[in-house]
Structure 1
Amino acid sequence: MPTLLALDASSTACSCALIQDQSIVQRFEIAPREHTRLLLPMIDEILAEAGVSLEQLDAIAYGQGPGSFTGLRIAAGVAQGLAYGADLPLMGISTLDALALAAHRQWHARYVIAALDARMDEIYVAAYRCHEGTLTALLEERVMPPSKLSLPQGDDELEWLGIGSGWQLLSAMPVDVQAALVQTLPDELPAAEDIARLAAASWKRGARGGSPHEVIPVYLRDEVAWRKT
């Protein structure tokens, strides 16, 4: 198993995790607008707890999005700076993938729709089939109004678990989507622990990440948009 540091700031939660020999050290705190202050001290804490230096890492993984525009830039910037300083590759991991893995790992879900509140009456969403820690995308991640969400074609008889803040907009979703859900977990947020697990699995399959200068947050929207209040 590789030794990987993972970090995420894509939501109101700030988290980091270190995976080594199948064991994980992690920190997770819900702290809106505190990511810049918390992230580096968290990283220092888990490296010290694990007795690992940056130079001993194989790579750094980060939540590449979708999610908060500001949070994604914070995580990408910190990951990029650490990777440059220690000459390490970077691995960008989808935050929707991380949510799906959490649903599979903690609630044993086989079919998962991960959704995050994208603001402006839209959601970031993707759907998965999960089996023994492996995710297969049935609906590629995208941004859309919740009223436009539809189940993957041919899978309308399956029992789905919905996870992520996008499910706070459940009442705005089509009736058939609501009927297919056996459970929703609207308070769950992406966590660095699941980003670390996904990055480690990717590493085992031969992926080795990329250069720090290739860091690109995934916003899904073509432009960073805002609405005047």
Structure 2
Amino acid sequence: MACILHIETATDVCSVALAEAGQVLAWREEQFQHHNDHSRNLTLFVQECLGKAGKTLEELKAVAVSSGPGSYSSLRVGTSVAKGICYALDIPLIGIDTLQALALAAQRAMPIDGALYIPMIDARRMEVYYRIFDDTNSALTEAGNLVLTEDAFSKYFSEGKTLVFTGNGAQKAQQLRSHPKARFADLQTSARHLVELTFLKYQNQQFEDLAYFAPFYLKPPNITTPRKRAF
């Protein structure tokens, strides 16, 4: 059976999971206030998971990484570590859509026939990255960024749809909690959420081009320049 390493760093959660045949063997994750903590802890989490599962790095058959959208800096950390391991061991890289993985986790946690699943990732201020999926995990929209307002999803509510919101960005949709058709699945990004989609891609040999793979940032990094001093 193929032993696959999963890495999720799209948000402030740094998460690693080890799985075989779609079953989690070990996992380690922690939420950090500063994204540079990901770079200090990610490889330690990898080693910890391997130790818990009684595996060695050389036993890995592939590495899966959350491909975004999400934090620019955090996604770069996860991608760099994943690609480094793949290059060193000459094994394939599997990219997993962060929002699709969150949507699937919400569907497993809160199955509702005909519902729409809307994973959200915090994108600063009142903005979120989001995408809409049906109850079979098929995407109905492209990934986008949205400033949340009370009528942001009125079109779907007016059609009588039940909407299931999830992810750390869903905290910004509190004004929708009173709607009778709104549901909230309290889930965060996690490497464990990548496992099911990764297993399918591995079976179908849907691998990334190591040389050209890059995360899907959706927005450019938030870079500020220092003010010039008066003197």
Q: TM-score, normalised by structure 2?
A: 0.84
1:136, CA displacement in angstroms? 0.5
Distance 1:198 1:22, change over 3 A: closer
Structure 1 counterpart of 2:143? 141
Counterparts in 2 of 1:20-39, with a 5 A limit? 20-24=20-24, 25-33=26-34, 34-39=37-42
Q: CA deviation at 1:92?
A: 1.2
The one-letter code matched in structure 1 to 2:58 is E
Q: Which residue of 2 aligns with 1:164?
A: 167
Q: CA deviation at 1:171?
A: 5.2
Q: Which runs of 5+ in 2 are unaligned?
A: 227-231
Q: 1:7–1:61: 8 Å Cα contact kept in structure 2?
A: yes
1:105-151, Cα deviation, whole Å (9 max, x unpaired): 222245311111111432100011134xxx11112211122238446
Residue matched to 2:6 = 6
Pair 201,85 (structure 1): closer, same or farther in 2 beyond 3 Å: same
Gaps of 5+ in 1: none
- Residue in structure 2 matched with residue 225 of structure 1 by the alignment: 222
- 1:158–1:198: structure 2 CA closer, same or farther, 3 Å change rule? same
In the alignment, the residues of structure 2 paired with residue 184 and residue 48 of structure 1 have an alpha-carbon distance, to the nearest angstrom, of 35
In structure 2, what is the Cα distance between the partners aligned to 1:228 and 1:137?
A: 38
Alpha carbons of structure 1 residues 166 and 156: separation in structure 2 relative to 1, 3 Å = farther
AA at the equivalent of 1:89: P
Q: What does residue 72 of structure 2 align with?
A: 69
After TM superposition, the structure 1 = structure 2 runs for residues 190-209 of structure 1, keeping only pairs within 5 Å, are 190-204=189-203, 206-209=204-207
Please provide the CA RMSD for this pair. Answer: 2.6
Alignment TM-score, normalising by the size of structure 1: 0.84
Distance in 1 separating the partners of 2:154 and 2:49: 40
Relative to structure 1, the CA distance from residue 96 to residue 67 in structure 2 (aligned partners, 3 Å threshold; closer, same or farther) is same
- Judging by fraction of residues, say which structure has more strand: 1
Specify the structure having the higher radius of gyration (Cα).
2
Taking structure 1 as reference, are residues 146 and 89 closer, same or farther at Cα in structure 2, changes over 3 Å only? same
Counterparts of 2:91 and 2:33 in 1: how far apart (Å)?
Answer: 29
Q: What are the equivalent positions in structure 2 for 1:96-111 lying under 5 Å apart?
A: 96-109=99-112, 110-111=115-116
**How far is the alpha carbon of 1:196 from its aligned partner?**
2.2
Give me the whole-angstrom Cα distance separating, in 1, the residues matched to 2:216 and 2:221: 11
Go from structure 1 to structure 2 and tell me whether the alpha carbon gap of 1:180 and 1:85 turns closer, same or farther (over 3 Å shift). Answer: farther
